[in-house]
Amino acid sequence: MCRLFAITSEDPISPMAAIRALNAMKEGHDGSGVGLFMTDLGGDLEPFKGSPILSGIFSQEGIKKLDRYMMELGLLTKFKFSIRPSKEPPAGTPKRDVYLIRVYEYPYDWDGLSEAEIKERLMKIRIDLRNLGEEDGSMMVFSFWPDVIMIKEVGDPMEIAEYLGLDRKGLQARIIMAQGRQNTNYAITLYACHPFFLQGMSTMTNGENTAFDPIREYLSSRGFPGYTGYQSDSEVFTHILHYTANGLGLGLDAYKHIITPLKDEEIKQHPDEAFLRRLKHSCRFLTIDGPNCVIGCLPDKTLFMVQDSKKLRPGIVGGKPGVFAFSSEMCGLEEAIPDRMKDFEIQPMKYDVAYVDASREEVKRWNQWERCTHLY
């Protein structure tokens, strides 16, 4: 089963903190892969907050293709932070040419575009690049977004981290999400490796989403080009979050109500009965059927955790003012923040949303029985 770990810290920290936490939870995962999502970046990338960063894996040929494509669009490289491993990869990990982390400068003709239009274009470029890469396997693109880095690879998380030198000084972030296994229920491909990313939102999940197929069909038929991929049943969690926020203009509370709605009898007793019933009915095809623990990050740098409607997976949130972690197992949290305020830990149950916003002062808890307050 996938092990999940996310941390949000006032001070930028190395992704190794998350890798070590995954390592502490190693008993439960097979060490078959690692996925990293970093945002609210520090270190060498701190000065480039507003510029889009492309993350992916490229062959030399892929780099050439990328350069041609970006040149045509007028996107110029502003800063390169790519990783070119010189050592032999660990057993089971393919030899890659470049783990690309490259900051771009918006073209002049994008000046004056609305924020929505820019977001649309950034997403489209990522999808185009992904499609281009799929033609010959020369590139895999995980994100193209300001203040976001993603790294994914097959192999043991700790070995991969050492191999890629993730402890390098300039690589730091205030929010890191890490997942420690390759997808095993569908074909092995890095596009099936969590966390998943779409327009500033990212989630990772453990367990199996048994309602995957109808949800995938539903999202695919929304007519939104970003709802694509689906090499993993977990990708839909990110896209449902995106649909909730961008498609419906609703918050994290509605996300929880959409993926795990209250039962019909429960809704009858809820103060928002009419709204929740309409939401449940109209989003029936987005109801997940766990077991799943979902950890995600919103564009406003809020980290959250929710559980399936039966709470069939563990999950814990804890820390101390300034630094909080979300972990699929307690030992991961223990490894990351041993001196945390243990009395304030939360293990979110089936109705809960546990979240830590960008102020990083406390773990907040919202419950489905409360009124919808438009969280996020």
Partner 1 sequence: MEPVGTLHPSLLSQKDLLWHISWDKQKCALCGHCTAVCPVRAIELGVHRKREIPITLGLSEKPKNVYGVYHGIRQITDPAHACIGCGMCSLVCPNSAIYPVRNEETDKLKFHINAGGEPRRRGGRRNDSASVLDRIKFVRISMLTDPALDAGRHEFELRTLLGRILPPEEAVKPSSQTGWIPPVREIYPLIIGGMSFGALSPNMWEGLQMGVAYLNEELGMPVRMCTGEGGCPPRLLRSRFIKFVILQIASGYFGWDEIIHALPEMKEDPCAIEIKYGQGAKPGDGGLLMWHKVNKLIAAIRGVPPRVSLPSPPTHQTKYSIEESVAKMIQSMYMAWGFRVPVYPKISATTTSLAVLNNLARNPYAAALAIDGEDGGTGAAYNVSMNHMGHPIASNIRDAYLNLVKIGKQNEIPIFAGGGIGKNGNLAANAAALIMLGASGIQVGKYMMQAAAGCVGSEGDRCNICNIGLCPKGITSQDPRIYRRLDPEHVAQRVVDVYSSFDSELKKILAPLGRSTSLPIGMSDAIGIDDYHTAERLKIKHVV
Regarding 284 and contact with partner 1 (CB under 8 A), the answer is yes
Q: How far is the CB of 183 from partner 1 (least distance, A)?
A: 11
Between residue 154 and residue 213, which ones bind partner 1 under the rule CB under 8 A? 184-185, 206-208, 210-213
The type of residue at 145 is: W
Binding pattern for the stretch 71-110 against partner 1, x by CB under 8 A and - elsewhere = ----------------------------------------
Which residue in the set 1, 18, 204, 293 belongs to the binding site for partner 1 (CB under 8 A)? 1
Of 28, 76, 21, 25, nearest to 48 (Cα)?
76
Regarding 273 and contact with partner 1 (CB under 8 A), the answer is no
Q: Judge residue 63's burial from the number of C-beta atoms within 10 Å of its C-beta, 0-12 exposed, 13-18 middle, 19 or more buried.
A: middle
Q: With respect to partner 1, which residue has the nearer C-beta, 334 or 352?
A: 352
Tokens of 102: 């490259």
Which residue in the set 120, 289, 345, 362 belongs to the binding site for partner 1 (CB under 8 A)? 289
Preceding omega of 195 cis (within 30 degrees of 0) = yes
Q: Which residue has the tokens 């709204």?
A: 275
Q: With contacts defined by CB under 8 A, name the span among 18-26, 37-45, 152-160, 309-317 that binds partner 1.
A: 309-317
Regarding 356 and contact with partner 1 (CB under 8 A), the answer is no
Q: What angle do CA 265, 267, 273 make, to 5 degrees?
A: 140
| DSSP assignment string, 176-240 | EEEE-----SS---GGGSSPEEETTEEEEEEE--TTHHHHHHHHHTT--TTS---SSTTHHHHHH
Bridge partners for 177 per DSSP: 6, 37
Sign of the dihedral defined by the CA atoms of residues 279, 280, 282, 285, in that order: positive
Regarding 308 and contact with partner 1 (CB under 8 A), the answer is yes
Q: With respect to partner 1, which residue has the nearer C-beta, 129 or 198?
A: 198
Between residue 323 and residue 342, which ones bind partner 1 under the rule CB under 8 A? none
Q: With contacts defined by CB under 8 A, name the span among 54-62, 104-112, 194-202, 244-252 that binds partner 1.
A: 244-252
Regarding 285 and contact with partner 1 (CB under 8 A), the answer is yes
Is the Cβ–Cβ distance between 350 and 307 less than 8 Å? Answer: yes
Q: How far is the CB of 327 from partner 1 (least distance, A)?
A: 18
Q: With respect to partner 1, which residue has the nearer C-beta, 125 or 295?
A: 295
Is the Cβ–Cβ distance between 185 and 199 less than 8 Å? Answer: no
Q: With contacts defined by CB under 8 A, name the span among 73-81, 142-150, 164-172, 282-290 that binds partner 1.
A: 282-290
Is the Cβ–Cβ distance between 307 and 322 less than 8 Å? Answer: no
Regarding 248 and contact with partner 1 (CB under 8 A), the answer is yes
- Positions that interact with partner 1 (CB under 8 A): 1, 184-185, 206-208, 210-214, 217-218, 221-223, 243, 247-250, 254, 260, 263-264, 274-275, 278-279, 281-285, 287-291, 308-310, 312
